Amino acid sequence: MILGQDPLYAGDVWGALPVTLLKVVAAFAFLLVSVMLNIWFLRKVISDFQNRVGPNIAGPWGILQTLADGIKLFFKEDLVPDNADRFTFKLAPYLSLVPAFLTFAIVPIGGDFNGDGSRDGLVTIFGKDTFLQVADPPIGILFFLAMSSLAIYGVMLAGWSSGSKYPLLGSVRASAQMVSYEAALGLAVAAVVLQSGSLSTHDMVLSQSAGFTSWAIFTTGVVPFVVFFIAGTAELNHPPFDLVEAEQELVGGFHTEYSSIRFALFFLAEFMNQITIGAIIVTLFLGGPQGPSLFLPDGWWVGTIWFFLKLSFFLFAFVWIRATLPRFRYDQLMDLGWKFLIPLSLFWLILLSGLRIGDTNNWALGNYVGWFLGWFAGAAFLGSLLSMAVNTARADRLAEAAEKEASRG
């Protein structure tokens, strides 16, 4: 049940063990190498944006700079504060790192999804048919949401176990940010689930195999894609949402007391999560490994090339945003999540649900028009109530501030 619908486990489970181990090791090695290259890519692209040289000493074009930094961190002294809860302090980095890898395990990174039903993403490894993903659980996308929620515990426990009030405040702020955007993220995912009719990531890719126009970014109306991209960026604590460890702060946030390899694990988890979120976006909205063969011969590896090209585009987009947009204030960060993204994604999900019901029941044009008008009127009414509540709260805060200022005078 955990490994799901992969035909690799339909027969001799023990005979499938070597292929399973190979896929696990390959996925883990890929993520580690990708993190190293991603950090180098980040530094190089931002240096180009800012007219600087960037890493250029360690290895060709400075490509080994990240490896050199990792070796340095590995041999630095590992400090544990006197007031820390030692067990929790040491456990917290792994609670941030492990969910990032487990999330990537459900992503199909290759296979032939040409829509003719002949192979449906199957590849042959050592004579056994399997999917080019570590596991395909039937609740795959719920597993992704569970892992993204679990990563919050690593952040919270890191700040709490440090025995210092500054990391604790940073972890509370980080946890509030991640929880706030988790709701919008889940609603955007629900729109894709509604269109595909499955929670399996493999089935989601398969549902988009009819062609370019069947990709979920188009069938869901673009809005869930935009919401997911923004909410995913905030979940990563990535600029312009990096309020957790902003440069102008006196301390570095929840991992202030960490050093050596434990700090490197948090750093590794942050960049691994970037790759994972990019891979999930490609899977949910852009057809995963699908793409035209062009001048290349047919084969499952063509899908893998398309997957990495799409993933590279989103990794570049993350760097582009980091180098371009100014940082949000914390109140702006919370307003964007609670007052805009969540209502927008909820209203859009209701709209898509109505369209799906109409399609299932063969509604006539008049039914669609009536439902649209009713939905629009309800959305406008609820939106006006939300706006009134926000304006009232703002007016109350300003009045309270004015009273305090008058009392001081």
pLDDT, tens digit (0-9, with 9 covering 90-100), for 389-402: 878 888 888 888 88
Query: Which comes out higher in pLDDT, residue 248 or 366?
Result: 366
Confidence of residue 1 (pLDDT cuts 50, 70, 90): very low
Co-location of 116 and 14 in the same domain: yes
In a domain, 98, yes or no: yes
Nearest to 161 by CA among 260, 262, 239: 262
In a domain, 342, yes or no: yes
In a domain, 20, yes or no: yes
Q: How far apart are CA 250 and CA 246, in angstroms?
A: 9
| Least confident span in 2-16, 273-287, 292-306 | 2-16
Predicted pLDDT at 11:
66
Co-location of 234 and 378 in the same domain: no
pTM above 0.85, yes or no: yes
**Gyration radius from the chain CA atoms:** 24
Co-location of 380 and 331 in the same domain: no
Co-location of 371 and 341 in the same domain: no
Per residue in 23-54, pLDDT tens? 888 888 888 888 888 889 988 899 888 888 88
350-388 residues labelled b (16+ CB within 10 A) or e (exposed): ebbebbeeeeeeebeeeeeeebeeebeeebeeeeeeeee
Tokens describing residue 245: 């460890």
| Least confident span in 101-105, 131-135, 341-345 | 131-135
Q: How far apart are CA 403 and CA 383, in angstroms?
A: 30
- pLDDT over threshold 70, residue 114: no
User: By percentage, how much of the chain surpasses pLDDT 70?
Assistant: 91
How buried is 329 (Cβ within 10 angstroms: 0-12 exposed, 13-18 middle, 19+ buried)? exposed
What stretches of 70-168 adopt beta strand conformation (E)? 122-125, 128-131
- pLDDT over threshold 90, residue 227: yes
Nearest to 333 by CA among 226, 224, 240: 240
Residue 343 belongs to what domain range? 7-349
Co-location of 343 and 367 in the same domain: no
**Mean per-residue pLDDT, 77-99:** 87
Co-location of 86 and 192 in the same domain: yes
The total domain count for the chain is: 2
In a domain, 103, yes or no: yes
Predicted pLDDT at 395:
84
Q: How far apart are CA 119 and CA 140, in angstroms?
A: 20
**Mean per-residue pLDDT, 47-71:** 85
